[in-house]
Amino acid sequence: MTTIYDQGRPGRRAVSLPEPSHPEAEILDSIPTDLRRRTPPRLPEVSQPELIRHYTALSRMNYGVDTGFYPLGSCTMKHNPRLHEDLARLPGFAGLHPLLPAEECQGALALLWEMGEYLKGITGMPGITLQPAAGAHGELTGMLLFKKWLEDRGELGARTKILLPDSAHGTNPASAAMVGFSVVSIPSDRRGMVDLNALKQALGPDVAGIMLTVPNTLGIFEEDILTITQLVHNAGGLCYFDGANLNAYLGRARPGDMGADVFHINLHKTFSTPHGGGGPGAGPVTVSEALVPYLPVPGIARGEEAYHLDWNKPKTIGRVHPYFGNVLVIVRALAYLLTLGDAGMREVSGGAVLAANYLKAKLKGTYKLPYDRLVKHEFVLSGEGLGHGLRTLDVAKRLMDYGFHPPTVYFPLIVKEALMIEPTETEPRETLDAFASALVAIAAEARERPELLREAPHTAPVRRLDEANAVREPKLRLDL
């Protein structure tokens, strides 16, 4: 793969710029010698056509939702409406500086306030912060809220443990650890749900709370959710809900009604903002009454005549974002929410859950299904028993040859050789059928022509890459 540094020649440039009033050398000389840069940074020198061709070529080596079906479990890769892209570029949002006084930013503050009210309603929780920039950032915010709540009650030294089901996303334990909590794993039972007996045993005066993903990463709704949250609350702990999977019950149920104290919403998942090749996202957090006093500052408030910033939170955890959060992501999410309305939100979760159960039904005769239950928005197959020493990874790579992005693989950890499939509601039935047929065909290939899988992909821009070499001989930047 050539890089931009392989293009162009010294002296080329892709944009024209204004002229300074003085020769550049003269301006440079006016910078004190001890501060002045001695050797310039080595950057590419390309003309505009070269620049455009290079990045267009790179884009064509990428697979996005617009390229095709992208059933990456737990990531909710749904269609990204085009209207949103136009709206996020409006100068009243994109061109607004965050440190202007509130009276100059009424529209943007109104946007944030409006989105905050809707998200409180959707989650059934009375407090919100829009500051977290991603889901994991929301988790960290939640753990900071836990800590502040404990500190305020004089229990900080005593309650040091966070309980985590063994199916949890890796961000959960990492977020808890950043706030100094130790992590206790709670096993899943044969249903794929939290083992209630194990939970009861783990609960005690040293437990700060639990982090739950609902539905969990097997795509299974915790049917005992009310019992779980009640047990934790009775033991003096708090309940964090990881909202990565909100798409499963959007408009049909609210975490606030299930006993959640903190809930984060991945706007880039449920509310259809583009994933950007890894970000930016947004991870607003809603909280129960008990945690409202500790929310980050500033809040966004509506007065009688205008919106303003609310700094009156003496018990706040402080800022988690330098300004207000990822506003342009929130613009897109609000547009999506307004398009849907109440009925549309129910259609979203209905369509997502229907698609997942439909695919599960079509595939369970072909692949091992360790937990055969009603699922919500995603389900987990296992690539065990393919024969010829083939693994889930081989299935994933072979899917690329059929024109599909592979599902999430090797997660959750409690399923061996996991294939975690989240179709979302925006895929036509024909696409789901084609994907199921591809997986069935691949299972047949595994029996008859295993080398097709082992050597896949055959049609991608590169063949399988040597990941061990990338660590043993690290090349993390170009040698220039």
Q: Are strands 307-310 and 299-302 parallel, antiparallel or unpaired?
A: antiparallel
3-state secondary structure of 102: helix
Using rule CB under 8 A, residue 157 touches another protein: no
Using rule CB under 8 A, residue 278 touches another protein: yes
Using rule CB under 8 A, residue 12 touches another protein: yes
Instruction: For 300-340, give the DSSP string.
Output: EEE-SS-EEEE---TT----SSSSSS-HHHHHHHHHHHHHH
Which of the stretches 50-58, 202-210, 382-390, 438-446 binds another protein when contact is defined by CB under 8 A?
50-58
What region, left, alpha or beta, does residue 222 occupy, with left being phi > 0 and alpha being psi -120 to 50 degrees?
A: beta
Using rule CB under 8 A, residue 42 touches another protein: yes
Closer of 195 and 424 to another protein (Cβ): 424
Q: Map the footprint of another protein across residues 321-350, applying CB under 8 A.
A: 321-329, 331, 334-335, 337-344, 347-350
Using rule CB under 8 A, residue 163 touches another protein: no
Q: Map the footprint of another protein across residues 438-457, applying CB under 8 A.
A: 455, 457
Q: Which of 61, 132, 126, 115 is nearest to 287 (CA)?
A: 126
Please state the closest distance from residue 464 (CB atom) to another protein, in A: 6
Closer of 277 and 447 to another protein (Cβ): 277
Please state the closest distance from residue 201 (CB atom) to another protein, in A: 20
State the binding string over 74-113 for another protein (x if CB under 8 A, else -): -x-xxxxx-x-xxx-xxxxxxxxxxxxx-xxxxxx-xx--
Which of the stretches 35-43, 197-205, 232-240, 439-447 binds another protein when contact is defined by CB under 8 A?
35-43
Q: Map the footprint of another protein across residues 401-420, applying CB under 8 A.
A: 405-406, 408, 410-411
Using rule CB under 8 A, residue 271 touches another protein: no
Closer of 53 and 447 to another protein (Cβ): 53
Distance CA 400, CA 329 (A): 30
Please state the closest distance from residue 177 (CB atom) to another protein, in A: 4
Using rule CB under 8 A, residue 154 touches another protein: no
Q: Which of 397, 400, 444, 393 is nearest to 416 (CA)?
A: 393
Using rule CB under 8 A, residue 153 touches another protein: no
Q: Map the footprint of another protein across residues 224-263, applying CB under 8 A.
A: 225-226, 249, 251-254, 257-258
Distance CA 375, CA 219 (A): 5
- Locate 125 and state its tokens: 């929780």
User: Residue 258 in contact with residue 243, Cβ under 8 Å?
Assistant: no
Q: Are strands 379-382 and 418-421 parallel, antiparallel or unpaired?
A: antiparallel
Closer of 18 and 387 to another protein (Cβ): 18
Please state the closest distance from residue 478 (CB atom) to another protein, in A: 5
Residues 6+ apart with CB under 8 A from 130: 112, 115, 116, 282, 284, 300, 324, 325, 330
Q: Map the footprint of another protein across residues 130-149, applying CB under 8 A.
A: 133-137, 139-140, 143-144, 147
Cα–Cα distances in angstroms (integers) from residue 22 to residues 16, 25, 26, 36, 175, in the given order: 17, 8, 7, 17, 52
Please state the closest distance from residue 384 (CB atom) to another protein, in A: 14
Angle at the Cα of 86 (from 85 to 91), degrees rounded to 5?
Answer: 115
- Residue 194 DSSP label: B
